[in-house]
Amino acid sequence: MSKILEKHGFYIKVFFLLALFMVLFTLLTGCGSDPYKKGSLTEEEFQAGKQTTLGSLKKTGWELDIPGNTFEDDEQISMRVLSENEAQIYQSNGFTFYGTPVEIKLGEKENVRLGEPVSITLQIPEDLLKDLAADELFFAVYYDSGWEYFCPDEVDLDKGTATVQVYHFSFFGFGKLSEDEQIKTFAKNYAALQWESEKLTVS
């Protein structure tokens, strides 16, 4: 009888350890595969003359690459990735978030303009990559309670990433535009380019 109990006790311990391992594995892989669910805050001290990377595609979903010549002095930079709950109030008709918005700040300043461009890369959620067309995807910046859309510099559907270079720190989003919003955005960009061309011709 004692041997039977010992045998059952051994199996119970093995089962318990396997169950514990599965729970930990699920939690760890869950955090890695969905960095947007809970959001995150990353802060970094930029050292003048030294290239700095803020965030991580795997851990935070957004990654900011800052060249060493971006600022003349050392600066405190923060990158706040919104959680899924926080992002809900920024939803807009015709714009579906792929990931969640990010707020990038220099100290306590907002909408800081830069002399040199910085590169922002986003990890597109894996479950949204199937049957996805790169020309449907847009970055967006939040101004006056609304989004203004612009095209990525690069979309790599194999890696599931989208990258753009910007000349300012602000509040950015990324996602899929409806067909109507795409038409409006292209028309607006074309009008801006035409106005710029006419202005140069007159000059």
Contact 167, 117 (CB under 8 A): yes
Helix ranges restricted to H, the chain: 2-33, 84-87, 179-202
pLDDT in tens, 156-182: 999 999 999 999 999 999 999 999 888
Mean pLDDT of 41-51: 93
CB neighbours of residue 198 within 10 Å: 10
Domain 36-191: give its CATH code.
2.60.220.30
Could you give the CA distance from residue 110 to residue 169 in angstroms, rounded to a whole number? 7
Sign of the torsion angle spanned by Cα atoms 75, 100, 129, 147? negative
Dig out the tokens for 20 from the structure. 């514990």
Taking only the tens place, the pLDDT of each residue in 56-86 is 999 999 999 999 999 889 999 999 999 999 9
22-26, 56-60, 74-78, 196-200: range with lowest mean pLDDT: 22-26
Q: Which position has the higher pLDDT, 196 or 172?
A: 172
Tell me the average pLDDT of the chain: 84
Beta bridge partner(s), residue 53:
65
Determine the pLDDT at residue 116. 87
Q: Taking the model in full, what pTM does it have?
A: 0.77
Strand-strand pairing, 62-66 and 75-81: unpaired
Confidence of residue 34 (pLDDT cuts 50, 70, 90): confident
